[in-house]
Chains A and B, each alone.
Chain A
């Protein structure tokens, strides 16, 4: 059989709407082309009701949710549930990278203070400088609210650490207590995580000239 029949990838003749759906799914984090294809075909075969449920939930996600104007958590209103809650300790702010980190911390039921979502970490390599994070907004809160302690809870990776150091230098002169969450076991060492090129160079580099 002609091997060209099996040519994979963009050049294959797929109906245009299906092609577009696959492209859109491929943009999702962690979704490769094969999975995008499966998801698209699944939607195509699904019945009218469940299809509409799916589409409506997606529309609502964008229409009904916004970011809290104070802490930048995901919220249905101007202020998120945490910022509105009378039960929360208003003098402590826990600074996190993304709103998803709030969900993780809330699940522990250990923390009763407020949050502030930076929206990322310093990463000059990907063009993330301090002005693209909600740092100015954090400083404004320190002026407007009666904050006694700031907990820095960024991920313990290279960029997270640099951001923590940056914030420490910024916050120390303000006379507010600043702490950082205890660092767990160092990540790293995972095959998936490891920068293959770097390990390769370290271990076998002397050979490959």
Chain B
């Protein structure tokens, strides 16, 4: 998949811009606050319908404007045109795909696969278990809409169930225990689907991740991902057919504790993914550099996985990643990028530019105060 050009109207700093891109690497070079990350934001927005900066529409709106629009022209299996239009007066966003308005996110998600690397990726390996779940959830969701629906439903069940635990614990009404049983059944049905999807994903993802890890490091280290769920250890996997029973068992064991604390204590919302490097846990023994390598390899693993699964080549966005890496690694990665497909790289640091591949397909775009010029 290639993004050939982008039209921006009143989006962030961009008043009225049309930017053509290279099918290879596009280096977006500029100082802080000049609008280079806004371009990645716009691209990610079109492909996922979500804003990765979690910005509100009014924040995206250029000063004093009453609408913004972002439009992209893609060469996909077919030529596709995606547009997001926001009007301040209606406070409404309209998505359209090939000039027809789209009401279901699933029409867009997965159709324009995208992989984003940002400095915030440190949270994947160094943050909380919730940060790791978010990473895996986002990748699995891009590969299939059923998983996303299950996640949404599961969140709803959790909210209802914790409200019920609170009501029971507050009122001491025993007649509500049968209601809790019903919610348990629903929790187990949807929760087990999520667990099985995550199990399958880690298994399918591993080869893509290993390959990515090897090409990033150039070494033969064994990088591993273990998925732990329903209180099992790293090595004792629970067969898919046993998951529902095990889930129910744990709910029974922890029922009193759940009622006392009014919190959902069992289920995939408490899962953990454990990263290992040559069999030792990365979280405990990993150096800063090893963490960084892991994060980059996870993202490239995501790229290869989505490419294989969706049969479309994802677009890669690198936000300020080169600034953080040593120069040697940066040039090694930029060599790899050339083989991968279309990439957008933001860079503040001009000193790194000299290390980059200036082969003729790559494009250097200077970004200054919402204006793009070709270098």
Question: What's the Cα separation between A131 and B135 when bound, in Å?
Answer: 41
- List the B residue with the shortest CB-CB distance to A130: B179
- With a cutoff of 8 Å between Cβ atoms, the chain B residues found around residue A3 in the complex are none
What are 17 contact pairs spanning A and B, CB under 8 A? A124-B160, A125-B159, A127-B167, A129-B176, A130-B175, A162-B185, A165-B185, A165-B186, A189-B145, A201-B134, A202-B141, A203-B109, A204-B50, A206-B121, A206-B134, A209-B123, A209-B127
Interface size class of A (residues with CB under 8 A): 35 or more
Asked if residues A198 and B151 are in contact (CB atoms below 8 Å), the reply is yes
Asked if residues B48 and A203 are in contact (CB atoms below 8 Å), the reply is yes
Asked if residues B186 and A158 are in contact (CB atoms below 8 Å), the reply is yes
Closest 7 CB pairs of A and B: A166-B182, A124-B164, A205-B134, A124-B163, A208-B54, A165-B182, A188-B149
Question: What's the Cα separation between A195 and B134 when bound, in Å?
Answer: 16
- Is B106 in the interface zone, CB < 8 Å from A? yes
Asked if residues B103 and A207 are in contact (CB atoms below 8 Å), the reply is no
Question: What's the Cα separation between A163 and B157 when bound, in Å?
Answer: 12
Question: What's the Cα separation between A161 and B156 when bound, in Å?
Answer: 12
- Is B118 in the interface zone, CB < 8 Å from A? yes
- List the B residue with the shortest CB-CB distance to A207: B52
- Is B138 in the interface zone, CB < 8 Å from A? yes
Asked if residues A195 and B155 are in contact (CB atoms below 8 Å), the reply is yes
Asked if residues B105 and A202 are in contact (CB atoms below 8 Å), the reply is no
- Is B20 in the interface zone, CB < 8 Å from A? no
- With a cutoff of 8 Å between Cβ atoms, the chain A residues found around residue B48 in the complex are 203-204
Question: What's the Cα separation between A131 and B176 when bound, in Å?
Answer: 9
A130-B175, A186-B149, A199-B105 given; A125·B50 CB < 8 A: no
Asked if residues A204 and B182 are in contact (CB atoms below 8 Å), the reply is no
User: In the assembled complex, how far is the CB of residue A34 from the closest CB belonging to chain B, in whole angstroms?
Assistant: 11
Chain B, 30-55, contact with A by CB distance < 8 Å: what is the 0/1 string? 00000000000000100011111110
- Is B183 in the interface zone, CB < 8 Å from A? yes
Question: What's the Cα separation between A124 and B160 when bound, in Å?
Answer: 5
- Is A200 in the interface zone, CB < 8 Å from B? yes
* A168-193 at interface with B (beta carbon < 8 Å): 169-170, 186, 188-192
- With a cutoff of 8 Å between Cβ atoms, the chain B residues found around residue A201 in the complex are 134
With A165-B182, A203-B48 known, 18 other A-B pairs at CB within 8 A are A131-B175, A158-B156, A166-B178, A166-B182, A188-B152, A189-B106, A195-B156, A198-B152, A200-B50, A202-B137, A204-B51, A204-B54, A205-B134, A207-B54, A207-B116, A207-B120, A208-B53, A209-B123
- With a cutoff of 8 Å between Cβ atoms, the chain A residues found around residue B51 in the complex are 204
* B143-162 at interface with A (beta carbon < 8 Å): 145-146, 148-149, 151-153, 155-157, 159-161
- With a cutoff of 8 Å between Cβ atoms, the chain A residues found around residue B145 in the complex are 189
Question: What's the Cα separation between A186 and B146 when bound, in Å?
Answer: 9
Chain B, 159-191, contact with A by CB distance < 8 Å: what is the 0/1 string? 111011001000000011011011101100000
Asked if residues A190 and B103 are in contact (CB atoms below 8 Å), the reply is yes
- Is A123 in the interface zone, CB < 8 Å from B? yes
- List the A residue with the shortest CB-CB distance to B48: A203
- With a cutoff of 8 Å between Cβ atoms, the chain A residues found around residue B124 in the complex are 206
User: In the assembled complex, how far is the CB of residue A134 from the closest CB belonging to chain B, in whole angstroms?
Assistant: 16
- With a cutoff of 8 Å between Cβ atoms, the chain B residues found around residue A200 in the complex are 50, 54
- Is B104 in the interface zone, CB < 8 Å from A? yes
Asked if residues B104 and A189 are in contact (CB atoms below 8 Å), the reply is yes
* B322-336 at interface with A (beta carbon < 8 Å): none
- List the B residue with the shortest CB-CB distance to A189: B106
- Is A137 in the interface zone, CB < 8 Å from B? no
Partner of B138, one of A130, A170, A206: A206
Asked if residues B178 and A169 are in contact (CB atoms below 8 Å), the reply is yes
- Is A194 in the interface zone, CB < 8 Å from B? yes
- With a cutoff of 8 Å between Cβ atoms, the chain A residues found around residue B134 in the complex are 201-202, 205-206
- Is B357 in the interface zone, CB < 8 Å from A? no
Q: Which of B121, B148, B157, B179 has the most CB of A within 10 A?
A: B179
- Is B131 in the interface zone, CB < 8 Å from A? yes
Question: What's the Cα separation between A158 and B185 when bound, in Å?
Answer: 12
- With a cutoff of 8 Å between Cβ atoms, the chain B residues found around residue A127 in the complex are 167
- With a cutoff of 8 Å between Cβ atoms, the chain A residues found around residue B148 in the complex are 189, 199, 202
User: In the assembled complex, how far is the CB of residue B327 from the closest CB belonging to chain A, in whole angstroms?
Assistant: 26
Partner of A125, one of B53, B163, B182: B163
Question: What's the Cα separation between A206 and B123 when bound, in Å?
Answer: 7
- With a cutoff of 8 Å between Cβ atoms, the chain B residues found around residue A188 in the complex are 149, 152-153
User: In the assembled complex, how far is the CB of residue A84 from the closest CB belonging to chain B, in whole angstroms?
Assistant: 34
- With a cutoff of 8 Å between Cβ atoms, the chain B residues found around residue A190 in the complex are 103-105
Partner of A162, one of B127, B142, B183: B183
Question: What's the Cα separation between A208 and B118 when bound, in Å?
Answer: 11
Chain A, 118-135, contact with B by CB distance < 8 Å: what is the 0/1 string? 000011110101110000
Question: What's the Cα separation between A123 and B148 when bound, in Å?
Answer: 22
Asked if residues B176 and A123 are in contact (CB atoms below 8 Å), the reply is no
Question: What's the Cα separation between A131 and B116 when bound, in Å?
Answer: 50
Question: What's the Cα separation between A162 and B180 when bound, in Å?
Answer: 9
- With a cutoff of 8 Å between Cβ atoms, the chain B residues found around residue A208 in the complex are 52-54
- Is A149 in the interface zone, CB < 8 Å from B? no
- Is A23 in the interface zone, CB < 8 Å from B? no
Asked if residues A206 and B182 are in contact (CB atoms below 8 Å), the reply is no
Chain B, 117-139, contact with A by CB distance < 8 Å: what is the 0/1 string? 01011011001000100110110
Question: What's the Cα separation between A123 and B103 when bound, in Å?
Answer: 27
- With a cutoff of 8 Å between Cβ atoms, the chain A residues found around residue B49 in the complex are 191
- Is A101 in the interface zone, CB < 8 Å from B? no
